[in-house]
Structure 1
Amino acid sequence: MPPVVLAQHVTKWYGSRRAVADVSFAIEPGEIVGLLGPNGSGKSTIFRMLTGYLVPTSGRIEVAGCDVVSDSLGVRRAISYVPEDAPLYDHMRVGEFLHFMAGLKGLHGAGARGAVDEAAERLELTAVMMLPAGKLSRGFRQRVSIAQALLANPKVLVLDEPTSGLDPHQVIAVRDLIRSLAGRHTVLMASHILPEIEKIASRVMILLDGRLLTSDALKEMTQHLALRLSSSSPYALIVLAAQGVSGVREVAPDADAGTGHYLVRAERRASLPADLIAALVAADVAVSELTEVRPDLERVFLDLTKRLGEAA
């Protein structure tokens, strides 16, 4: 089955400023993919190109087999976009707004009523359908924004910072909602909150300064090994012994754990911890602990950023 979203060598310039630099990726049907990066990294620019709001300076983007430049109407029929702080018509009641949006998406009569009723039920909006949008909490406004995006049953749903500004209860509710969309829709969501995107997405792409550092950060997390070492021996002796073990990439003080604790980063292979212990013992390094540390997105992001800086 071909990818539902395909970007090939996409670059976007705003005058003399390059916002996106030679980005390529593919997204399969039914995936929930997170696009992670700090503010200003190019996430919103990529989303606006995907949805036809902006035209790439160079490169090619397809959504559901439709080119965003030559077949923008086909793209818009296949995709729905919820930007950060999506505006609502505050004077409209929720039900009126959803019916209005259904009409804009080409749904009328019984088709529109059925789509609105289904969206209201899925987003738990039934109790607020008669309320003006301007009276809703931020959490409910976000639900209404997502509901209107789902009305025409899009193949692809694009969410830009969907949990931004929500309280913890609202974040959990939106997170559960996005998870429930997997399979029926392909979801591409952006965030700069690392733990949040890790909990939702099945795959995470990391963007920095307009460049794609990885198209699968979660895979990167499992490919490399991180070990926490506790020792009273001198740091220089530990580094010397560890660097003699094949696959060890770095030994650094563990700032979170305090004095006498170190993080050893290495290639993942079954015998590496035993090889490391043997090398440390042979070098008379006093080892009181050696445990595997599950890497998180923050560590992967920092490692990738460091590698990018060294290569620049």
Structure 2
Amino acid sequence: MSSLVLAQHVTKWYGPRRAVSDVSFAIGQGEIVGLLGPNGSGKSTIFRMLTGYLVPTSGRMEVAGHDVVADSLAVRRVISYVPEDAPLYDHMRVGEFLHFMASLKGSRGAAAKAAVEAAAERLDLTCVMSLLTAKLSRGFRQRVSIAQALLGNPKVLVLDEPTSGLDPHQVIAVRDLIQSLAGSHTVLIASHILSEIEKVASRVMILLDGTLLTADALQERAEETLLRLAAAASEATVRDIVSAVAGVRDVTVEPSAASGTMHYLIRAEPRVAVAADVVAALVEAGVGVSELAEVRPDLERIFLDLTRRASRMAA
């Protein structure tokens, strides 16, 4: 798959502070990709560089083969951006605003009218087209912002925290819309809410302190086996026995309320026999095992695991 969006060794400094550090990734046509990270991790900075609002300090970014710095106008013709606090012209009515945005994107006359009507219907805005944007609720303002972004049929749609401040019904509506765009548009979503990203994205990139920890966190699930173990022995004993089993990568202690029994999380290679080998090693050493179960890692666990490993390496 050829890359529609490309970042190569991108770094951004704000004076003495480095906001983004040597970030590289590639995104193909039709993907829905989530950029996940805590507030202040550099997500918005990456989106602002990608859409031409900021210039990278070093490195290169491309959209549809166009360099975002050297050919920024060509990039803006194929990309649409919805910032977290989506700005609207409060003195305009919704319909007026959408027609104005359509004209900026090159649509005129009947073509503009058809595009606005289609976007309004898709975002359920027909009931507010005559209202001033200043009078809209947070949810409707967000929908109007996404509607204007869809005008001009962009190849790439960039959404920064698209469900921020929305009620549960509005969150579901925006999520359904994003999922409906898969294939026909490439969508990049930034969020610090793990559950929302996991529900809509086909691929998740994780950013921490400006550093990209992984370009495909969901693939982590296929690349290792995760086991939860409860064993009645000292932590040092269990660690030594389990760590010596072929294929085991890491053993961490989990909090437990049961006295005398320690709980562990074991990361291992995706090998069928690894669980049986762990049990056999413990039993042979005379250690009682009360639980050994395979755990399907969710995005939250993958995120915590990656960030903990990054913190240990930094230390």
Q: Shorter-chain TM-score: what band?
A: over 0.9
Q: Secondary structure at the match of 1:4?
A: strand
**1:254 matches 2:285:** no
**1:224 matches 2:224:** yes
- Counterpart of 2:267 in structure 1 is 265
The structure 1 residue matched to 2:284, chosen from 278, 282, 285, is: 282
User: Structure 2 vs 1, CA of residues 184 and 256 (structure 1 numbering), >3 Å: closer, same or farther?
Assistant: farther
- Counterpart of 1:304 in structure 2 is 306
- Letter of the aligned partner of 1:11 in structure 2? T
- Counterpart of 1:20 in structure 2 is 20
Q: Within 2, Cα distance between the matches of 1:97 and 1:40?
A: 31
Q: Secondary structure at the match of 2:12?
A: strand
* Cα deviation, residue 237, structure 1: 2.8
Q: Secondary structure at the match of 2:3?
A: coil
User: 1:168-207 counterparts in 2 under 5 A?
Assistant: 168-207=168-207
User: 1:226-241 counterparts in 2 under 5 A?
Assistant: 226-241=226-241
- Letter of the aligned partner of 1:273 in structure 2? A
Aligned residue pairs total 312
Q: Within 2, Cα distance between the matches of 1:113 and 1:37?
A: 39
Segment drifting more, 212-221 vs 89-98: 89-98
Segment drifting more, 148-157 vs 259-268: 259-268
Q: Secondary structure at the match of 1:87?
A: coil
- Letter of the aligned partner of 1:167 in structure 2? D
* Cα deviation, residue 231, structure 1: 2.8
Q: Secondary structure at the match of 1:54?
A: coil
User: 1:87-236 counterparts in 2 under 5 A?
Assistant: 87-236=87-236
- Letter of the aligned partner of 1:299 in structure 2? R
User: Structure 2 vs 1, CA of residues 109 and 257 (structure 1 numbering), >3 Å: closer, same or farther?
Assistant: farther
**1:49 matches 2:49:** yes
**1:62 matches 2:62:** yes
> What is the TM-score when the length of structure 1 is the normalising length?
0.96
Q: Within 2, Cα distance between the matches of 1:46 and 1:253?
A: 35
Aligned-pair identity (%): 73
Q: Secondary structure at the match of 1:220?
A: helix
Q: What is the alpha-carbon root mean square deviation over aligned residues?
A: 1.5
- Letter of the aligned partner of 2:264 in structure 1? Y
Q: Within 1, Cα distance between the matches of 2:296 and 2:285?
A: 27
User: Structure 2 vs 1, CA of residues 41 and 258 (structure 1 numbering), >3 Å: closer, same or farther?
Assistant: farther
What do the CA deviations read for 1:86-134 (whole angstroms, capped 9, x no partner)?
Answer: 0112232211111111111111101110110110111111122122222
Q: Within 2, Cα distance between the matches of 1:244 and 1:53?
A: 52
Segment drifting more, 60-69 vs 289-298: 289-298
List runs of 5+ in structure 2 lacking aligned partners. Answer: none
- Counterpart of 1:31 in structure 2 is 31
Q: Within 1, Cα distance between the matches of 2:273 and 2:109?
A: 66
List runs of 5+ in structure 1 lacking aligned partners. Answer: none
* Cα deviation, residue 258, structure 1: 5.5
Q: Secondary structure at the match of 1:10?
A: strand
